[in-house]
Homo-oligomer: A and B are copies of this chain.
Amino acid sequence: MTRQREVILQAAFGSNEHFTAEELWEKARKLDRRTSRATVYRTLTLLREGGLLREIDLGRDQKVFDPNFMDHPHHNHLVCIDCGEVIEFEDSHMRVLEECITRRLGFRSTKSSLRIEACCDRLRKDGVCPNLLRKRLGACVPGAETRSLGVPVAP
């Protein structure tokens, strides 16, 4: 554990925001100007391999890392196609269903990732995405599971 790695850890886990490798480098450089890109990439690889960080697919061109899997190993993502905001959610029903499907196919699941792309109806009326405010608040914090679950609404 060197000083550089401490800086990068602080940059990565200092908030629960997602980030790209480049963004992490910028964050780390704010803490220590000398931090090099190479070290960031190398540390990123270590963190990913160690399971502290996970790469998520947000449908963007660049790879995005999520530092929240340590606290919430089973959370998933909803991406607002209107404003691009990402909402994290957990759902125990989903977990059970995934497990059922996996076993039916003859496997034991190790991990999974679900991305939902969606748009909010209110945006079209109000011109503003009301869920901007929800971003990463209420989602993926204690109690979030209940919030995102509750009584399923019949589709």
Contact = CB atoms under 8 A, between A and B. Distances in A.
B112 A113 contact: no
B118 A102 contact: yes
Contacts of A122: 106
A98 B131 CA distance: 18
B113 A109 contact: no
Main secondary structure of the interface of A (DSSP, over half): mixed
Contacts of A26: none
B107 A153 contact: no
The quantity of this chain's copies bound in the complex is 2
A33 interface: no
B120 A153 contact: no
Contact of A89 (B103, B105, B118, B121): B105
Interface residues of A, number: 47
A4 interface: no
A9 interface: no
Contacts of A89: 101, 105
B115 A119 contact: no
A70 interface: no
Contacts of A98: 114, 116
Contact of A130 (B103, B106, B147, B149): B106
16 contacts: A57-B57, A78-B102, A89-B105, A91-B97, A96-B155, A100-B153, A100-B154, A103-B155, A105-B118, A107-B120, A108-B119, A110-B118, A112-B114, A112-B115, A113-B115, A114-B114
